[in-house]
Amino acid sequence: MTLIFTLHKEVPLSQIHATAIIDSAAEIDPTAEIGPFVVIEGPVRIGARTKLFPHAFVTGNVVIGEDNLVGVNVSIGLPPQHTGWKDTDWGVRIGDRNNFREHVTIHRGYVENNPTVVGDDNLLMVGTHVPHDAIIHNNVILVNCAQLGGHSEVFDRAVLSAFVGIHQFCRVGRLCMLGASAVATKDVPPFMTMGHDKSVHGMNIIGMRRAGIGADTRKQIKAAYKILYRSGLNVKNAVSRMESELGTVPEVREMIDFIQSAKRGIVPHTRRATADDDE
């Protein structure tokens, strides 16, 4: 592989710092900005108005969309941290309007034809990690040093606070809020809050309000939450009751489908008294 200095034919030299190193195989939109000491290695594609800050490193089968900010010392596309890796590159796919702050790491996919995916409008703060085969949907926030495990999935508008850990193959549902240092070893159902004791503490009322979920719908979600976690039923029977009583509510349907597709089960409810599910 031959590396060249700022010679991509379609990109004005004024948009690429003189110290950047750009692979001849890279495709960079003319409106993208490449900062000092950036290294772009291999067939990377970078979309319109995306900006790479100093010392960012992007390598391999990586596609980055439009209007992204790739911060200082961000690394995208390096091999998975997996002992079975055999020099394959299933890549990384990144959407639009994401903000990757300093020292974010995003690794390439490990499973055949399965790139690591980051959607649109996400904020990944300092030191967060997106591993091989993970999927981050849209409008997700990962606070400083939140860490995902391989094959994990985080759905729309979830917030993972500082030092949160997500076990491999686990999922975090839409509009979940995980507090600082929480560790999820099972799936976290949509609309829930989770504490550092590996358990659900209640519903994410504030998040639902901000997302425009109305009071009537929140009451239905609350009823489903109480069936799931406060009725004394096991998960299977609780889901059956949720389906029979509330299954026509789209948000409750979302909860049911999420729980039924869980491969590792769902996190339990805390044994502590909580009041955060009150309106």
- Residues 93-103 pLDDT 10s: 999 999 999 99
Regarding the domain delimited by 209-260, which CATH topology (the fold level of the hierarchy) does it fall under? Udp N-acetylglucosamine O-acyltransferase; Domain 2 (1.20.1180)
pLDDT computed for residue 10 by the predictor: 59
Model confidence at 1: pLDDT above 70: no
Please give the CATH number for the structural domain made up of 3-151.
2.160.10.10
- Residues 68-93 pLDDT 10s: 999 999 999 999 999 999 999 999 99
Measured CA to CA in angstroms, residue 144 lies from 101, 126, 152 at distances of: 9, 5, 18
Catalytic residue selected from 133, 156, 187, 277: 133
pLDDT band at residue 271 using 50, 70 and 90 as cut-offs: confident
pLDDT computed for residue 9 by the predictor: 52
Q: Where are the domains of the chain?
A: 3-151, 209-260
User: Is-catalytic flag, 150?
Assistant: yes
User: Is-catalytic flag, 276?
Assistant: no
- Residues 176-204 pLDDT 10s: 999 999 999 999 999 999 999 999 999 99
pLDDT computed for residue 275 by the predictor: 55
- Residues 94-140 pLDDT 10s: 999 999 999 999 999 999 999 999 999 999 999 999 999 999 999 99
pLDDT computed for residue 58 by the predictor: 99
Half-sphere exposure of 69 (CA within 13 A, CB side): 12
Contacts 24+ apart (CB under 8 A), 203-209: 203/276, 203/277, 204/175, 204/176, 204/177, 205/276, 205/277, 205/278, 205/279, 206/177, 207/157, 207/159, 207/175, 207/176, 207/177, 208/175
In percent, the amount of the chain with pLDDT more than 70 equals 92
Average pLDDT of the chain to the nearest whole number? 94
- Residues 2-32 pLDDT 10s: 333 344 455 565 599 999 999 999 999 999 9
Model confidence at 277: pLDDT above 50: yes
Model confidence at 238: pLDDT above 80: yes
Q: Which amino acid is at 24?
A: S
Mean pLDDT of 218-237: 97
Model confidence at 151: pLDDT above 70: yes
Mean pLDDT of 239-251: 98
Catalytic residue selected from 55, 129, 132, 137: 132
Model confidence at 65: pLDDT above 70: yes
